[in-house]
Amino acid sequence: MSTPVTSTDGGSDTRTQATPPPTAKDPRGFARVSVFGVLWSLALIALAVVAGHDALAYGDLISGKPWIQSALETVDGMKPQFSWVVLAVVAGLIGLILIYFALRPRPHLGTAVRAQTGVFMLDRGLRSFAAASAEDVDGVDTARASASGRTVRVDVHGPSAERDAALEGRVQQRLESRFEPLEQPPRVRVRDLGRG
């Protein structure tokens, strides 16, 4: 993790220059599919309890009839009923929801900043950063920022009653300059809402 440094006089230097650690995987939000994962793992444990109960029941170690046998005897000879159709429709919808969550990627939480190691600006930080940067522009009283996808929208309140295109341009320029250290700077949309 360190590289040798050669001194300017041509001699060998025993010092080493440290290099930053490699970038870790980018910050991701909570994988909502894991909620279902917990349910499936609990379902496996429940199945283990059923199987364990029946194994003990067959061995006469506990009293009562085996649950699996009882269930099989209950459903034997059943014919489809209309209530099953209603349940099937509900089950089908639940199935679609499960597939949606299974395929849904974990959300990215931030944007990479140009650095040798892994530095990420969180989305909420980017909003505050944009609003503060906009407020630094001459003529801006207050600013509010929102971010969606790869776009940052900033609404500013300036001194004029009407929309001031020149002010919007100055804010836009300021924000683009402030976002330069980001590896993929977001698109900036500025709107002057007039006197606040």
Partner 1 sequence: MSGTSVFFDRLVTFVVGVALIAGAVIVIGWKYDLFNWLPEALDSGPALDVTEYGWWPWALAAAALILLLLGLRWLFGHLPSRRVTELRLPGSGAEGRLEVDAGSAVSAACASLQSRHDIRSAKGDVRRDRGQLVIDIRATLEPRCDLAEVATAIDETTAALTQSLERPDLYCRVRLDVGSRGRSKAARLH
Out of 5, 6, 62, 69, name the contact with partner 1 by CB under 8 A.
Answer: 69
Long-range contacts of 18-24 (CB under 8 A, 24+ apart): 19/116, 20/115, 20/116, 20/117, 21/117, 22/117, 22/118, 23/112, 23/117, 23/118, 24/118
Print the binding letters for residues 19-58 with partner 1: x by CB under 8 A, - otherwise.
xxxxxxxxx---x-xx-xxx-xxxxxx-xxx-xx-xx--x
What residues are paired with 148 via a beta bridge? 151
Site string for partner 1, 135-174 (x = CB under 8 A): xx----x---------------------------------
**Is residue 66 near partner 1 by the rule CB under 8 A?**
yes
Q: Closer CB to partner 1, residue 122 or residue 165?
A: 122
Alpha carbon distance 24, 117 (integer Å): 8
CB of 169 within 8 A of CB of 175? no
Query: Where does this chain touch partner 1 (CB under 8 A) — which range of 118-126, 146-154, 165-173, 188-196?
Result: 118-126
Residue 121 within binding range of partner 1, rule CB under 8 A: yes
- Cβ(157)–Cβ(193) under 8 Å? yes
DSSP string, 129-195: HHHHHHHTSTT-SEEEEEEETTEEEEEEE-SSSS--HHHHHHHHHHHHHHTTTBSSPPEEEEEE---
Q: How far is the CB of 188 from partner 1 (least distance, A)?
A: 15
- The smaller minimum CB distance to partner 1, of residues 2 and 184, is found at 2
Helix (H, G, I), strand (E, B) or coil at 3: strand
The answer to the question of residue 108 lying near partner 1 (CB under 8 A) is: no
- The answer to whether 113 contacts partner 1 (rule: CB under 8 A) is yes
For partner 1, the closer CB: 117 or 151? 117
By CB under 8 A, the count of residues binding partner 1 is 91
- When binding is defined by CB under 8 A, the residue of 181, 187, 193, 196 that contacts partner 1 is 181
C-beta neighbour count of 55 within 10 angstroms: 12
Stretch that binds partner 1, among 7-15, 94-102, 149-157, 166-174 (CB under 8 A): 94-102
Q: Which is nearer to partner 1, 3 or 9 (CB)?
A: 3
